[in-house]
């Protein structure tokens, strides 16, 4: 069964732009002059570099196509289900008396430095399905107790 990729609308648009940019680069590389394979009896290093670059582009394009085929957009849940942490939620928690906020996103958009954590990370998994007031324990290298203070969802992504 293929892996599902959970993305916000913004995350999907960013990947689509990357895809279009890579297609343009590939076209410009293959439409231009291709380095000759042999200058003498040695393989041309310029040609090897060209092949390596083209291989990288083709692999990334194939990865993006797979993502597009298996993407599920993150949308806010129905109003009555917005009291529970799910994908797309911004969750305010307290940890050892300090307030922190996380947005629960899919793995492709996770960026802990920006407060975006994956639904598959230890903290993300622990928060899913819980409500404000709940205390949860997340085990990454150490056990940390989080208390959920607030859950909010954007109206539409």
Domains within the chain, CATH numbers bracketed: 5-73 (1.10.287), 79-153 (3.10.50.30)
In angstroms, the CA 95 to CA 148 distance is: 9
Q: Other CB atoms closer than 10 Å to residue 27's CB: what's the count?
A: 11
* Three-state helix/strand/coil letters over 111-143: EHHHCEEECCCHHHHHHCCCECCCEEEEECCCE
CA distances from 53 to 27, 66, 102 (A): 12, 20, 37
**What pLDDT sits at residue 148?**
94
| Best mean pLDDT range from 13-22, 31-40, 131-140 | 13-22
Q: What are residue 146's DSSP bridge partners? A: 136
Query: What are the pLDDT digits (tens) for 46-59?
Result: 778 888 888 999 99
Question: What is the per-residue pLDDT across 118-156, written as a single tens digit (0 to 9) for each?
Answer: 999 999 999 999 999 999 998 877 888 999 999 999 875
């Amino acid at each position: 069964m293929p892996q599902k990729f959970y993305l916000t609308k913004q995350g999907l648009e960013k990947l689509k732009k990357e895809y279009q940019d890579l297609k343009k680069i590939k076209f410009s590389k293959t439409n231009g002059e291709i380095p000759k394979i042999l200058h003498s009896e040695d393989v041309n290093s310029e040609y090897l570099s060209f092949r390596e670059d083209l291989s990288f582009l083709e692999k990334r394009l194939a990865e993006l196509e797979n993502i597009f085929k298996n993407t599920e957009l993150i949308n806010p849940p129905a109003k009555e289900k917005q009291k529970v942490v799910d994908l797309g939620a911004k969750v305010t928690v307290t940890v050892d008396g300090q307030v922190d906020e996380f947005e629960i996103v899919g793995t492709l958009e996770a960026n802990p430095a920006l407060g975006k954590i994956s639904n598959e990370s230890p903290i993300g998994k622990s928060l899913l399905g819980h409500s404000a007031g709940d205390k949860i324990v997340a085990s990454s290298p150490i056990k940390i107790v989080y208390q959920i203070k607030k859950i909010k969802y954007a109206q539409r992504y």
